[in-house]
Amino acid sequence: MMTYDVVTLPAMQAVGFTARTNNQSPEMPAIIGGLWAKFGQVYTPERFTSDTFGQPIGIYGQYTDDWRDDYTVLVGILCQSDVTVPPEMVRWEIPAGNYGKFVLKSHPNDHPTTTANFWQELWQMDLPRAYDYDFEIYYSDEIHVFISLRCQ
């Protein structure tokens, strides 16, 4: 069983590309993978400087109900609140709140498989999810996954 810590996070901002999908859809991996490919085409250190931008991020929000129903995914990068949004991207705010934090060890080449395996296991857990905004922050050898939790 996966372990996690409950953490309280401040609100955060991110910019990126979005799409609506569903975990039951056979197209879901291609939709999310397509967003990562699109982000990879525009992501350069020169364009996204470290003084205004942070780590790459995948965000899941605007859930219709729970993980079995439609949701919107954003693939992009954390940013300062005053950053100008590139015209082809949108800005999302991740609300402050309580999150379950999971730390996944992963080589960058393995990030897609590591993340997919994580979600398969998470869906089987009895976790008090809020289905607000869940997100993955990517580092070179780790992925930090934050799952929004209901207040208990």
Tell me the per-residue pLDDT of 58-71, one tens digit each, with 9 for 90 and over: 999 999 998 989 99
Q: How many Cβ atoms are within 10 Å of 152's Cβ, its own excluded? A: 6
- Confidence (pLDDT) at 42: 87
Task: Summarize the confidence of residues 100-116 as an average pLDDT.
Answer: 93
Closest by CA to 41, choosing from 83, 80, 89, is 89
At residue 152 the predicted structure's pLDDT band, cuts being 50, 70 and 90, is low
**What element of type H or E holds 9?**
strand 5-9
- Total domains in the chain come to 1
Residue 138 CA to residue 40 CA, distance in Å, equals 13
Strand, helix or coil at 89?
A: coil
Residue 57 CA to residue 90 CA, distance in Å, equals 13
Residue 62, domain CATH: 3.20.80.10
pTM assigned to the model: 0.93
Percent of the chain with pLDDT over 70: 98
Query: pLDDT at residue 39 above 80?
Result: yes
For 122, the domain range is 5-148
